[in-house]
Amino acid sequence: KVEIFSAMLFESVIFGPIKSRRLGISLGVNLLPATAKVCSFNCIYCECGFNFTDPKAHLPSLKELETQLEQTLERMVADNKKLDSITFAGNGEPTMHPQFAAIIDATIRLRNRYYPQTKISVLSNATMLHRPAVVAALNKVDNNILKLDSVIDATVKLINQPVNPKFDITKIIEQQRQFNGNLIVQSLFLKGTYRGQTIDNTTEKEVSAWLNAIDYIRPKLVEIYSLDRIPPISTLQKVDSAVLQQIADRVEKLGISTSVIQ
């Protein structure tokens, strides 16, 4: 029997700051509804759970984002708070927001006014890179962090469960390459079972294919990690840190910086 745990949603446009494993003191930005999970993937490990709708759900507007972010930054400056990153994450895929590019411009403007040394980070699954405005916006941020958990189609469909039936991982790889190194690839490795199928993206077949894609994309950094928070599916298992380090060592041999996130 597979237990499915309840979702953990972010209930506001701006949340935190929180201490991030990757980004330090991070102020979160949620561009998706506070009462629904909206994503172009349906990852079986997502802490927000699986996609679901709410008739009363709405996307925050550009004005809402500007107002709430400015109020928060003003308060943090007044309290002399440290801030390492303004991070777009939240209840789904942030680049799906129709005003994403304008929101990034507004965030850069407010960051420059209140916290000029702070990085702007976007955690994305890379499914909206067919939109030129999204690509242009991601090229403006400090940390353009794009997902690539596997490059084998069957594994991607099992782990990430793309909503678009025409999803093609080879296109995602090509679209990540177009950043000419101005990106960070984040890859989550895990094991377990789901709906009677075995999951393991640490096998030699998986890792070799993934390494070939990493070498082709040539990001400025690869971040490797495993499960940290409780996933919605109880039959998933965290990958041992020694295995993650072995994968990282192979990335380093390609001349690409790598970080194992514990």
**Each residue's pLDDT tens digit in the chain (262 positions)?**
333 444 555 567 898 898 887 799 999 999 987 766 678 898 888 877 665 665 566 788 999 999 999 999 999 999 999 999 999 987 789 999 999 999 999 999 999 999 999 999 999 999 999 999 999 999 999 999 999 999 999 999 999 999 998 999 999 999 999 999 999 999 999 999 988 899 999 999 999 999 999 999 999 999 999 988 777 778 888 999 999 999 999 999 999 999 999 8
Closest-CA residue to 145 (of 109, 167, 177, 121): 121
Q: pTM here? A: 0.92
On whether the CB atoms of residues 237 and 190 are closer than 8 A, the answer is yes
Closest-CA residue to 95 (of 144, 51, 55): 144
Q: Which amino acid is residue 65, in one-letter code?
A: L
Q: Quick one: angle between helices 100-114 and 62-78, nearest 10?
A: 20
Q: Which amino acid is residue 254, in one-letter code?
A: L
- Sequence-distant (6+) residues with CB within 8 A of 73 are 27, 83, 110, 111, 113, 114, 115
Q: Starting at the edge strand that comes first in sequence, how are the strands of the sheet with 85-89 ordered? A: 14-20, 24-30, 85-89, 119-124, 143-147, 184-188, 221-225, 258-261
Q: Which amino acid is residue 75, in one-letter code?
A: R
Closest-CA residue to 110 (of 123, 99, 120): 120
Q: Which amino acid is residue 33, in one-letter code?
A: P
Q: Starting at the edge strand that comes first in sequence, how are the strands of the sheet with 190-194 ordered? A: 197-200, 190-194, 236-238
Cis ω for the linkage preceding 60 (within 30 of 0): no
On whether the CB atoms of residues 176 and 146 are closer than 8 A, the answer is yes
